[in-house]
Amino acid sequence: MPFVNIKTPEAALSAEQKAEIGRRVTALMVEYFSEAARPHTMVLIEEVKDGGYYRADETFVIPGPWRAG
């Protein structure tokens, strides 16, 4: 069973964007593993709260304009 885990800052994506990512990642797994993989592909999108990401020794907080509405 293909399993894809995506971590993203909290509120960075709308529900529609997450659904689209799920569909597109599933299609990618099917492209590699065949159509038989579709019903067994798991795509987990985890939202990490602001302050839970670190980049270049700095705490990452998602800028307001990047937040999904």
Question: How do residues 7-56 score in pLDDT, each as one tens digit?
Answer: 988 888 999 999 999 999 999 999 999 999 999 999 999 998 877 778 78
Q: Which CATH class is domain 3-66?
A: alpha beta
Distance of alpha carbon 42 from alpha carbon 54, whole angstroms: 26
The DSSP H or E segment spanning 5 is strand 3-9
Question: The pTM is what?
Answer: 0.78
| pLDDT score, position 65 | 73
Question: Is the CB of residue 47 less than 8 Å from the CB of residue 10?
Answer: yes
Label residue 69 by pLDDT band (50, 70, 90): low
The Cα 20–Cα 40 span in angstroms is 18
